[in-house]
Amino acid sequence: MVLTRRWAVFLTVVGVWSWVIWPRFALAIVQDDHSFSGGAPTAFFWVHAFLIVTSLAFGTVLGVLGVRAWRASLRATRTSPRKTRQTEEFVAVERSAPQD
């Protein structure tokens, strides 16, 4: 599967966004009064911890896929021959040459 550069940028931004937003949310959950009861974590804490870890995992995977897609698109443009007028003329002459 080949992703466009636009999709590669989108996936990378989603990955970065996840790592910007979710740690701040985790800090807010830890500081919330509902997170601990008698020093022990509550269900509120565990549910949100699961959501945070899952979101960070997905964000990491999407970010890595975005970076890999971007790098692959750069490699593809470096290795593919550039289409110039001379190459088009050469191909046209080659196709019109009589076959023996």
Q: Is the pLDDT of residue 68 over 90?
A: yes
HSE at residue 89, side-chain half, CA atoms within 13 A, is 3
Distance from C-alpha of 16 to C-alpha of 100, rounded to nearest angstrom: 60
Q: Is the pLDDT of residue 88 over 80?
A: no
Residue 41: DSSP 8-state: E
Q: How big is the chain by its Cα radius of gyration, in Å?
A: 26
pLDDT in tens, 7-55: 999 999 999 999 999 999 999 999 999 999 999 999 999 999 999 999 9
Q: Which residue has the higher pLDDT, 56 or 92?
A: 56
* pLDDT at position 80: 63
Alpha carbon 52 to its chain centroid, in Å, reads 18
Distance from C-alpha of 34 to C-alpha of 42, rounded to nearest angstrom: 7
Give me 39's structure tokens.
């020093």
pTM of the model: 0.72
Return the top range by mean pLDDT from 2-6, 49-53, 84-88.
49-53
Structural domain boundaries in the chain: 5-96
